[in-house]
Amino acid sequence: MALRLSGYRLAAAVGFAVAGVVATTACVAAQALSPEDLATLRQEYRRPPPRPVENAALVGLGRALFFEPRLSASGTTACASCHFPALGWGVTEPKSRNDSGKLTLRKSQPLIGLGHAGDAPVGWDGRSPTLEAQAKASIETGSMSMRETDAPVKVEVIVARIRSDPAYAAQFAAALPGSAVDIDAIVTAIAAFERTLEPGPAPFDAWVEGDEAAIPAAAKRGFALFAGQANCFACHGGWRFTDDKFHDVGTTTTDRDAGASTRTR
């Protein structure tokens, strides 16, 4: 899927509260764009520079922890078990096995470009306010915990495994001098790493920068539709092809996502 491979993120919500917005935006843009408008819109897809890395030691530690199966209760599941680097840090299958051996309720999301998502809520339904809170929930009660089995492992046990590893002790001392090795320090590192997952440049980016030969004519016509009559731009605007907001896309599903909390009647 083009958008996911380029590493862009969309948050879905099925909520009555936002249904009106969809109807309104659909009417506004049912017209072809002038060449001038199209040139302006093309500029709106220009990439910003990568986010600066403030603490390289912290990011390196976070990367190690992201691939660390000892962070899960069973000692066999890492964050990377459901977030593969080669897939924009996502997966292809609709559901993954969690640490309890059960299927996840929803599809794992790609993590690429998340550092540019600002303070957008995290998860399909936005239930975590920050990447730190999301990672903490994954380890304590979510995908990484054996919560759904008869023998769940306490988060203190998981933290003790990391704390007692001399290699990690040295990495924490370098990354967060003076602070305790606890669950908060662990998720601080993981989130710092996640914010560095920059999407690689696509041919589309080269075209936006002015290289006319970077994409074929059909793709340019597609962009004109995307930004004009098809009105994809209304929700997929900007270089990450997302506004990081919730939209009712009218899909038939029993999973109401954020609709469960945003419903107004």
What's the rounded Cα separation, in Å, for the pair 7 and 90?
9
**Smallest separation, CB 180 to ligand HEC (Å):** 19
Is 262 a binder of ligand HEC (CB under 6 A)?
Answer: no
What's the rounded Cα separation, in Å, for the pair 151 and 74?
9
Is 100 a binder of ligand HEC (CB under 6 A)?
Answer: no
DSSP 148-185: TSSS---HHHHHHHHHT-HHHHHHHHHHSTT---SHHH
- Report the residue from 33, 74, 115, 134 that binds ligand HEC according to the rule CB under 6 A: 134
DSSP 205-263: HHHHTT-GGGS-HHHHHHHHHHHTTT-THHHH-TTTT--S-EE------S--BTHHHH-
**Smallest separation, CB 233 to ligand HEC (Å):** 8
Q: Which region among 30-38, 99-107, 151-159, 204-212 touches ligand HEC (by CB under 6 A)?
A: 99-107
DSSP 5-34: HTT---EEB--HHHHHHHHHHHHHT-SPPP
Is 125 a binder of ligand HEC (CB under 6 A)?
Answer: yes
Q: Which region among 42-50, 132-140, 165-173, 206-214 touches ligand HEC (by CB under 6 A)?
A: 132-140
Residues from 58 through 87 that contact ligand HEC (CB under 6 A): 77, 79, 81-83
Chain residues binding ligand HEC by CB under 6 A are 1-4, 9-10, 12, 22, 77, 79, 81-83, 96, 98, 104-106, 108-109, 111, 114, 122-125, 131, 134-135, 138-139, 143-144, 190, 194, 230-232, 234-236, 247, 249
